[in-house]
Amino acid sequence: MNKQPIGIFDSGVGGLSIWKEITTLLPTENTIYLADSANAPYGEKSKEEIIDFCIKNTLLLLEKDCKIIIIACNTATTNAIKTLRKLYKIPFIGIEPAIKPAALKTKTNCIGILATKGTLNSELFTETSKKYMGSTDIVEQIGEGLVPLIESGQIESQKLKNLVNKYIQPMLAKKIDCLVLGCTHYPFLIPTIKKITGKSIEIIDSGFAVAKQTKAVLEKNKLTNNSSHPPLHKIYTNTKARTIYKLIPRAENVSVSYMPF
């Protein structure tokens, strides 16, 4: 049981930012990652569509004998995790914008959240943000167009840089001092964002917190892999794999394959 892989899925390559944190913190664990790039971005889909995609991805990971499933997508978590937990007994780890740590760290009492429309409009996000709205101003910004550019590998393009600048500048004008990245694709934009914000803004994402929670759940359920064998990491995509190779280093124990799903 312990040697079974950790399952991870996202609406494309964004969840690789979570995968990196998982494989760093849990170096003995095998993983299987599903990049549902053919249906990206989830943030522009209806809640019903998002739930259907999440069920499809979950069933694939269950077929591959995963012992735990990480929903490495803010939109998928905020819209579908309650349904998935009702349908399946396997432990699920979700991800949502890190509003709480940002609210605790802010000194201007103003934080920015860059996320997809699907995340910002979700019931779970609304519930979470309401807890901190009394003492903290939350500036929301939909990152429309960012995910398709990242998915197509245009991370260094001027078009993407211009779009990021367009979204960040109004938040800076409102005196935010913490910026929450509410989409797992967005950590790949941190170098670009830092060139705009400088050192005055703290950028917060949920990757390391998700890895820590995964470790805790594995230990609680006695599912930790203590094998001395090198781990195997299998990444499946339902589109071309070139963007994946841009985001993660090639390694002998990492395989990237096309699979229609």
Report the chain's terminal Cα–Cα distance, integer Å: 26
**3-state SS, residue 129:** helix
Range with the poorest average pLDDT among 57-71, 103-117, 127-141: 127-141
Residue 200: pLDDT above 80?
A: yes
Q: Work out the pLDDT band at 1, boundaries 50, 70, 90.
A: low
Q: What is the pLDDT of residues 86-132, one digit of tens each?
A: 999 999 999 988 998 999 999 999 999 999 999 999 888 888 888 87
* Mean pLDDT taken over the chain: 94
Query: The whole model's pTM is what?
Result: 0.92
* Nearest C-alpha neighbor of 187 from the set 36, 54, 10: 10
* Domains, the chain: 6-95+207-258 (3.40.50.1860), 99-204 (3.40.50.1860)
- In the predicted structure, residue 133 carries a pLDDT above the cut 80: no
Q: Which of 54, 66, 178, 183 is catalytic?
A: 183
- Is 66 tagged catalytic? no
Q: Which of 54, 66, 73, 178 is catalytic?
A: 73
The string of pLDDT tens digits covering residues 170-189 is 999 999 999 999 999 999 99
Q: Is 183 a catalytic residue?
A: yes
Task: Give, to the nearest 10 degrees, the angle between helix 190-197 and helix 158-173.
Answer: 50
